[in-house]
Amino acid sequence: MRYAKSLSVAALWSLLVTDMALAAAVPTVTVTVCGASSTNATSKTAVATSSAKTTTASTTKVSSKAATTSKAATTSSVSSIPAVVAAASATSAASAPGSTFAPSKTDTFVYDLDNQPIGAPTIKTKSGLTINEHVYIVDMENSTKEQIANYHAQGKKVVCYFSAGTWEPDRNDRSAFSSDCYCGKGVATKSDGKCTGAGSTDNFLADWGEWWFDIHNPTCLSNVQAGISARIAAAAAKGCDAVDPDNVDSYSNKQKYGTTKQDQVNYLLWLSKTARSHGLGIDLKNSGGLITDDETGEPTQWANSLVAAFDFNVIEECNHYKECDAYNPFLNAGKPQIQIEYSNSITKCPTLKAGQKLLVYSGTNLDSSQITLSC
C-alpha cells in the first residue's frame, strides 16, 4: 500500500468537475506508469511490473498470493486456452468509451513508487541497471498534479496506484469507509479506525496492517464504491492516464464476508466502468482465477468481459506459482502483461512472449535500488 498526503474526500469530490477535462488533455503517447510513495514509506520501484504495495510500517507489500495457497493450473494445462477467447475480448483501450489510454505489447513499464526526482525519470539500481521506460506507475495519493505533468513533459504516461480492496489506516480518506465494511459488522474500533477486540482479525491482511473491504453486502458495497469513486475522481483531476487498483482478489483470500468470484467480477467491472467514465485507463492486478479456471485450465465464464474491460494486467509471482499462462487471454487480445518477482527468485531473463515484461527485486519490497533484473 502507499501512504501519501492526499485530498480529503470532500476535496476529492470537488475535483470531479475538472477531472474529465484534465484527462482529455493528456497526450496519447508511449505508456509510462509512475507511482510515488509517501514520505515515510519504503522506496519502491518495479520496472515492467505493476503491483506495488506499501505497509503502514514503511515496508512494501508483497503479493497477496503469498498469503494464500495458490491453486494455479500448471503451465501445460493453462497454455491450452483457445485463441477464440482473445478474439472475442480484443477490445482495446483506445476503443473503450471515455479512455484514450492504449498501451501496446511493445510498451515498457516501471513501478516508480519511491518519489524520486522527476526532472529526468531515469532509475539507477544498486546492481548497475539504468531504467527509463514508457509507462510509470506511481502512488496516486502521494503524487502531485505537478509531478504527473512533469512525467508527461518527458513523454511518459502515468498510471496511478491505490488500493481498491483494502482499508488502509494511514490514508487521508480512511474515515470515508464504514468500519462495518472493513472490520465486520459489530466489531469494535480504536480512535484511529483500526479494528480491535473480538473478530478484529477476521478480515485482516496481516502482513500489511490492512483490512479487506466487504464487497458482498450491498450496503457495504455502496459505501466502498463511494470512497473508491472519490479516489478515481482524484486520479483524473491530477492528470493520471490510468489507474492501478490493488487488492482486487479478496475472494481468494482470508475474509469472512462470504465474497464470491461473482462478487469480485461485478466489482472489477464496476471499477473499469468508473475509470472509463473519468477518461482513465485501468489494469487488472492478479485475479488469474477469474480469467482461467484453476482446475481445468479453460477460460472462465468471465474471461471475455474482463479482458475487454482492462487495458493490461499485472501479476505478482506468477513465475514462482507457475501461473503466468493463466493470463494469456490478455496477450492474445494484444494487451501487455507485467510480471513482478521478489527475492532474486530469477537471475536471468527467461524466454518471454511478445507483450510480457518482467521485473525482479532482490528483496520483498519494491525499492527501486533493489531491482536486479528487467526483461
Q: What is the pLDDT of residues 248-278, one digit of tens each?
A: 999 999 999 999 999 999 999 999 999 999 9
Question: 130-147 pLDDT, tens per residue?
Answer: 888 889 888 899 889 998
Average pLDDT on 281-307 reads 96
Parse the chain into domains and list their residue ranges.
9-374
Yes or no: say if 120 and 342 are a contact pair by the CB < 8 Å rule: no
Report the C-alpha gap between 332 and 188 in whole angstroms. 47
- Provide the pLDDT for residue 344: 78
Mode of pairing for the β-strands spanning 204-205 and 210-212:
antiparallel
Average pLDDT on 83-90 reads 31
> Would you state the torsion angle of the CA atoms of residues 7, 240, 283, 345, taken in this order, to the nearest 10 degrees?
-90
Question: 105-129 pLDDT, tens per residue?
Answer: 999 888 877 655 555 577 778 888 8
As a whole number, the mean pLDDT across the chain is 77
Yes or no: say if 233 and 141 are a contact pair by the CB < 8 Å rule: no
- Provide the pLDDT for residue 204: 98
Of the listed ranges 11-15, 176-180, 306-310, the least confidently predicted one is 11-15
Yes or no: say if 177 and 223 are a contact pair by the CB < 8 Å rule: yes
Report the C-alpha gap between 352 and 355 in whole angstroms. 8
pTM of the model: 0.77
Q: Which residue has the cell 477460460?
A: 299
Q: In the predicted model, is pLDDT for residue 338 greater than 60?
A: yes
Beta-bridge partner residues of 357? 338
Report the C-alpha gap between 133 and 129 in whole angstroms. 12
- Provide the pLDDT for residue 292: 96
- Provide the pLDDT for residue 331: 95
354's CB contacts (< 8 A; 6+ apart) are: 105, 331
84's CB contacts (< 8 A; 6+ apart) are: none
- Indicate the pLDDT class of residue 42, thresholds 50, 70 and 90: very low
Question: 200-249 pLDDT, tens per residue?
Answer: 999 999 888 999 999 999 999 999 999 999 999 999 999 999 999 999 99
